[in-house]
């Protein structure tokens, strides 16, 4: 039985939903993020706000939410030339992958997360990677996750489970998952509360825009991350007959 988890928590919609799921499932949950000089480094402030709002609004989860860790990964910015680490346009590369793909990023994140989980005695590593509505990132694939789980478990001689709650669902279903988790959190009208927390405080936009506010949250509205978030939110609202959370 797994009771402890480390969540890769960037402060976006997906990782916040994963954190909520971990808090509803495991007894002790820690969080980790990486500063790799991302253009949208505003997410590093957003995530602290999300953590404090979760503690304030969801008391049953607050008691399970343990330490937060921020690791410096400037070396990733030194080795990669991508739209997330340099001021270059979002486009498709000759490889067929978007220019936002940072080679090795998730592999490094998982390796460092496992090293930290080893020290902190955490059994499960939770990550919001997804194969369904994704941008074609090969390091978000289920096969990659299974291979990493095996490599990390063998290489550290400790059985790690990599938990990927969003792997087979789309963005509309991710909003619904957040709502369902909030409903079961023990907080009155917790579903709407968690969705509203995600809308207001999480950060997804690749450009780091916290100026423009939309029904689905803050962002430029036109980068690939904003488009995916906006489309998912619109589809989710349709399933609710157009009724926005109160």
Residues in touch with Zn ion (CB under 5 A): 205, 207, 219-220, 223, 226
Handedness of CA 175, 135, 166, 164 (dihedral sign): negative
Q: Which is nearer to Zn ion, 25 or 210 (CB)?
A: 210
In angstroms, give the least distance from the CB of 223 to Zn ion: 3
In angstroms, give the least distance from the CB of 202 to Zn ion: 13
In angstroms, give the least distance from the CB of 169 to Zn ion: 22
Place of tokens 């402890």: 4
Q: Where do the H-state alpha helices sit in 92-223? A: 105-120, 142-156, 171-183, 190-201
Q: Which is nearer to Zn ion, 42 or 97 (CB)?
A: 42
In angstroms, give the least distance from the CB of 220 to Zn ion: 3
Query: Which token pair is 122?
Result: 């955490």
Q: Which is nearer to Zn ion, 6 or 205 (CB)?
A: 205
Q: Which is nearer to Zn ion, 57 or 135 (CB)?
A: 135
Can you tell me the distance from the alpha carbon of 239 to that of 246, in angstroms, rounded to the nearest whole number?
16
Q: What is the DSSP letter of 75?
A: H
Q: State phi, psi for 25 to the nearest 5 degrees.
A: -115, -35
**206 and 100 Cβ atoms separated by less than 8 Å:** yes
Q: Which is nearer to Zn ion, 103 or 221 (CB)?
A: 221
Q: Which is nearer to Zn ion, 83 or 123 (CB)?
A: 83
Q: Which is nearer to Zn ion, 217 or 219 (CB)?
A: 219
**69 and 107 Cβ atoms separated by less than 8 Å:** no
**140 and 131 Cβ atoms separated by less than 8 Å:** yes
In angstroms, give the least distance from the CB of 226 to Zn ion: 3
**20 and 178 Cβ atoms separated by less than 8 Å:** yes
Q: What is the DSSP letter of 138?
A: G
In angstroms, give the least distance from the CB of 101 to Zn ion: 17
Helix, strand, coil content of the chain in percent (nearest 5):
45, 15, 40
Q: How far apart are the first and last CA of the chain?
A: 37
In angstroms, give the least distance from the CB of 200 to Zn ion: 16
């Amino acid at each position: 039985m797994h009771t402890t988890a480390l969540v890769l928590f960037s402060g976006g919609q997906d990782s916040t939903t994963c954190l909520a799921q971990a808090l509803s499932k495991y007894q002790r949950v820690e969080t980790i993020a990486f500063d790799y000089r991302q253009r949208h480094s505003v997410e590093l402030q957003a995530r602290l706000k999300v953590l404090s709002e979760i503690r304030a609004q969801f008391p049953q989860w607050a008691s399970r939410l343990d330490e937060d860790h921020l690791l410096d990964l400037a070396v990733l910015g030194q080795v990669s030339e991508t739209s997330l680490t340099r001021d270059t346009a979002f486009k498709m590369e000759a490889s067929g992958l978007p220019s936002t793909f940072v080679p090795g990023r998730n592999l490094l994140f998982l390796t460092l997360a496992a090293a930290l989980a080893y020290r902190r005695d955490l059994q499960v590593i939770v990550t919001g990677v997804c194969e369904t509505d994704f941008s074609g990132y090969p390091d978000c694939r289920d096969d990659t996750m299974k291979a990493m789980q095996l490599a990390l478990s063998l290489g550290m001689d400790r059985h790690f489970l990599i938990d990927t709650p969003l792997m087979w669902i789309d963005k509309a279903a991710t909003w619904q998952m957040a709502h369902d988790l909030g409903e079961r959190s023990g907080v009155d009208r917790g579903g709407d509360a968690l969705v509203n927390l995600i809308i207001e405080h999480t950060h997804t936009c690749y450009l780091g825009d916290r100026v423009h506010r939309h029904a689905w949250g803050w962002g430029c509205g036109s980068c690939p991350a904003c488009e995916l978030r906006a489309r998912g939110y619109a589809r989710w609202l349709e399933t609710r007959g157009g009724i926005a959370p109160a």
